[in-house]
Amino acid sequence: MNTSRSVTVISEKTGSMLKVTANTPFGSVAIFAIAKRGSIMNMTAMPPICCASCPVAIIQPRANRNAETITNVGRPIVAGEACGTALVSKEPLSFWGGFCPRTGEIIDRRHECSGANVAGRIFVFPQGKGSSTSSATLMEGIKTGVAPAAIINLKVDPILALGSIVSDELYNRAMPIVVLDDKDFYSIKEDDYLTIEPDGKVLVSTKPSAK
């Protein structure tokens, strides 16, 4: 269960993430947070997701209370719940050679999201590509706690689905995957706050329109 924690954002940056400190049942530890420096001090800390004895957590900013919420209905390929900010790409990605399962960084230097970190975010991209080894790479990322919180695709990708399903069998830890139609998929913008429900609904919290 998520618990509220007060965290202090410090100046060190790691890719697109910030390093923060927080009190946990394991003591004061460094945690990587997806937030702009100084913008959010009270966040929701996920329980340790690396292993039972590892003080690792992903911190997610809360949804903006003044945001406009849109509900999209998708097809759950791997059912589950997740929430987080959107990392959006219009390009396919091969997780094999394109994603680092130790850090969560996109390491394909030809990809438009190169250098971005997907850990704890909702990764919105059309589909995977390339080697079937992407399943194993995704599984490793889920195991180490740096995989996306969920994936939203335009097309069903059996390779990524297999990685999430097998991870659930081996580690009791699955990553939700949802497919949206073109209109709903392309309506999601970078840093929208997304909530994914087990039935495939995607709640999109966007910034209020300027009047």
Give the H/E segment covering residue 161: helix 158-171
Residue 184 to residue 90: CA distance in whole angstroms: 13
Give the tokens for residue 105: 């960084």
Bridge partners (DSSP) listed for residue 99: 106
Answer yes or no: are the C-beta atoms of 176 and 80 closer than 8 Å.
Answer: yes
With 0-12 CB in 10 A as exposed, 13-18 as middle and 19+ as buried, what is 208? exposed
Query: 100 Cβ partners below 8 Å, 6+ apart?
Result: 106, 107, 146
131 included as an active-site residue: yes
Question: What amino acid is encoded at 75 in this protein?
Answer: R
Q: Catalytic pick from 114, 131, 132, 135? A: 131
Residue 67 to residue 47: CA distance in whole angstroms: 26
What amino acid positions are annotated as catalytic residues?
A: 131
